[in-house]
Structure 1
């Protein structure tokens, strides 16, 4: 099996991680392309003594870490530490990287330690730190678009346990838009396929035409929305999901949304 065939099944999920890490489809996919270009340019340097998935993520992490140092230095050169700090404030800190890799991507603490070049004990501490940050995060109001009652109940329970309010649960496109217009949420969680064969994607488009709001899509077929070939979601939860995955994704979406709000607002 060629190297390309070995890593191809893992690319959609690397895009999921990269987008959540950067808070942007464009930026996340750019880093994934850079990782692939690195592999193509020097295939003999691709780690062969570990799984292709772990090696792919390690290649990505190496590029990410190098780029962040370079951008911090560039910020310092352009306007001192103030610009450098402003740039860093918009990036996911290493504690959130550890949380994303474990809770979203399902890596073990040991594998995550390898990926971010830390000791396993440090990874556990970083994950605990990130979880503590979630507990202090600003609360918001959440609209849930989900036509499966049990799944909707699970999501609503997770959202409320995090301290957020639920503005409503919609099962169709029209209902979702109506609820959003009636009580504007600060976050939307949307399934792709809805009860009347309408689309959660279309519902979100209608809502975003009226006002800006961070969105997390929920789907049993994540590969379809992680191709990197067209405009696609930044935040994605795969069905069936784990409670910690939902909490982490919600926290990450709100992290970037709050980072764009000017100080004092």
Structure 2
């Protein structure tokens, strides 16, 4: 293996990672990398770090070439994803998405990423800040708490806010929960099973599921009730007493894991 080939192979894992994110899929990304490597290795006598014309073959230059190949083919990344993070990135303008990927995924300094995209550094700063804010907003969950114990509800709310998410309200009964859900359209509910006025969180979860799909995490002193009724599919269970770490982990899994109903809606009919 000559020096130039070794130089390219060092960059290969980064190129594949970026190309897959750029195109929206592993097969498309790997095909783009293959075309880039073919372009780079046309002249076996090239010096390490340059192509046959002496052009720069640094990692940044290779990213630039991947972008040019993608654009010249008239292709764009698949704009639908089952994963919330990818969906948030696809909501960005394409140049902003590439800037975000180069800085946050590929760990390029902002000035280098701006150079790859042939973008003035001052503009890159503004666009990256805007992209980060938009992604952050898209990944902020609106969480409904259904809990009749005020102290526990307060603790749950503090945990949710500490993670950067929003609490749309706390309900102690089924009627309150359904009203808050209709008003705020939450993305997740933390649900006790035994509620005020004899209401049951399982029935609340079933009604919310009937009206529209809403992920639910049950936080309860009666963790066996779901399994006894064969209703484990309604959501994971965290037994009381709980730790904040348990709540944080469960919320993170719920927010960043696509759900079958949402995936079907995003992908549309086959």
The interval holding the TM-score normalised by the smaller chain is 0.3 to 0.5
Normalising to structure 1: TM-score of the pair? Answer: 0.46
